[in-house]
Amino acid sequence: MREAFHDQLDTMFGDLADICGSVETAVRLATEALLTGDASTAEKVISADVDIDRARERVEDSAFLLLSLQQPVASDLRTVVAALRMVSELERMGDLSVHVAKIARLRVPNLAVPDDVRPTIERMAEVAEEMVSRVSTIIRERSVDEALALVRADEEMDRLRRGSFTALLSADWSHGVEAAVDIALLGRYYERIADHAVSVANRVVFVVTGENPTSVDA
C-alpha cells in the first residue's frame, strides 16, 4: 500500500514538472509575441492557459484524493501539501505569461517595447524562461542544490527590474505615459514569474529536508 502511495506521489511530481514545461513554453511564446508584435502568437499563449488550469485541477484532485484515502502523516503529508502550494504557484506563472501576451496583443501592429529598453526586457525574459526551465528539473529530481542555486538568477532579475525603473524615471524618457506603463507592468510580470520560480524551488527544499529556506514566500 505504501509503495503504491509513493508511486502516486512520484506521478504527481511528474505532473508538476510537466506543468512547469507548459509554463516555460508560455513564457517563451509570450516574449516572442511581445518582441515581434505577432498577435497570433499572443493568442496561442492566451488560449493555451486553459490547459495549464486544467492540469492544475488534475493535480489538486490527485492531492485531495491522497489526503482523503491515505491520510498521510509526517514527510508524506508535507509532500502532498507542498504539491498543492506548488501547483498554485505554477498556475500563477502561466497567468503572468498571459498578461505579457495581452500587452503584446494590445499594441499590435506596434511594439510595446521601445528600442532603447528592449535589451533589458529581452534579458528579463531570458532569465525568467531559464528559471522556469530549471524549476522543472528541480521538481523532477528534487534537487536541493539546484533549488538553492536558483536564488542567484533571481538576484539578476532584481537588478534588471531596478534598471528598467531607472530608464522610466530618466529625464531622457521620450516614449510617453502609455509605453512607461507597459514597461513597468512587463518588468513586474517577469519579476513575479522569477519570484514564483524561487518559491516553487524552495518548496522542493522543504519537501526533501523538512526545512523552510528563508526566502520562501509566506
Q: Would you say residue 88 lies in a domain? A: yes
Q: Would you say residue 214 lies in a domain? A: no
Q: Would you say residue 123 lies in a domain? A: yes
Report the 10 Å Cβ neighbour count for 84: 17
- For the stretch 141-182, pLDDT in tens is 999 999 988 988 889 999 999 999 888 888 889 999 999 999
* Number of structural domains in the chain: 1
Residue with cell 538568477: 153
Per-residue pLDDT averaged across 103-131, rounded? 95
Q: Would you say residue 217 lies in a domain? A: no
Per-residue pLDDT averaged across 86-100, rounded? 97
Per-residue pLDDT averaged across 49-61, rounded? 96
Task: Supply 113's cell numbers.
Answer: 517595447
Reported as a pLDDT band with limits 50, 70 and 90, residue 1 is low
Decide if 184 contacts 178 (C-beta within 8 A): no
Q: Is the confidence at residue 61, as pLDDT, over 60?
A: yes
The CATH number covering residue 93 comes to 1.20.58.220
pTM for this predicted structure: 0.91
Sign of CA dihedral 128, 141, 203, 49: positive
Tell me the HSE value of 214 on the side-chain side, using a 13 A CA sphere: 0
- For the stretch 139-150, pLDDT in tens is 999 999 999 889
What does pLDDT average to over the chain? 91
31: containing domain: 2-209
